[in-house]
Amino acid sequence: MLVFKDIASPITEGEWFDREIWGQNIRLKLRPLNDDIAKSIRKPFEGLKEGRKKEEKILDAVYDYVLEDFEGVGDEQPDGTVQHWEPTLENKKRILMMRVPIGEQGNLAWVIDRANQLAFRVHEDAIKN
């Protein structure tokens, strides 16, 4: 039986991207994002009352979905070692909202651009097959 990958499902496996920020390299594992995926992410929140809280929860779900994982980010400890960040929602948001040098695209915009490109590529690949 032939089965096609459903990119409207927010369970899609991500792809690793490298990014240099402040002279340091980090790796970000991103998932594709398109209108269908965004709708499926919003669906669990349909019953909530409209307002700021609802929109914040939806944005958190989008951030958590799109930025699947990351490497190369952490905090220096007093003994000089680095405590690498775990891929929690809080840390994903820290990366997405992180300041970048003037003139560079912010992380959130950079990530969303690549997630949209991934969705387009997955769609194009599905058409070819």
3-state secondary structure of 62: helix
pLDDT at 13: 82
- pTM for this predicted structure: 0.82
pLDDT at 1 over 60: no
3-state secondary structure of 34: coil
What percent of the chain is modeled with pLDDT above 90? Answer: 74
Sheet arrangement for strand 67-71: 15-21, 24-30, 67-71
Answer whether 71's CB lies under 8 Å from 27's CB: yes
Q: Which H or E element spans position 64?
A: helix 52-66
pLDDT at 129 over 60: no
The mean pLDDT of 67-91, rounded to a whole number, is 94
* Residues composing the chain: 129
Beta bridge partners of 83: 75
Q: Report the alpha-carbon distance of residue 103 to residue 114 in Å, rounded.
A: 18
The mean pLDDT of 21-50, rounded to a whole number, is 93
Give residue limits of the domains in the chain.
Answer: 15-128
* pLDDT band at 89; cut points 50, 70, 90: very high
* pLDDT band at 121; cut points 50, 70, 90: confident
The residue among 29 and 125 whose pLDDT is bigger is 29
pLDDT at 124: 60
Q: Which residues have CB under 8 Å from 25's CB, separation 6+?
A: 18, 19, 72
Q: Which H or E element spans position 73?
A: none
Amino acid letter for position 53: K
Q: Report the alpha-carbon distance of residue 71 to residue 87 in Å, rounded.
A: 9
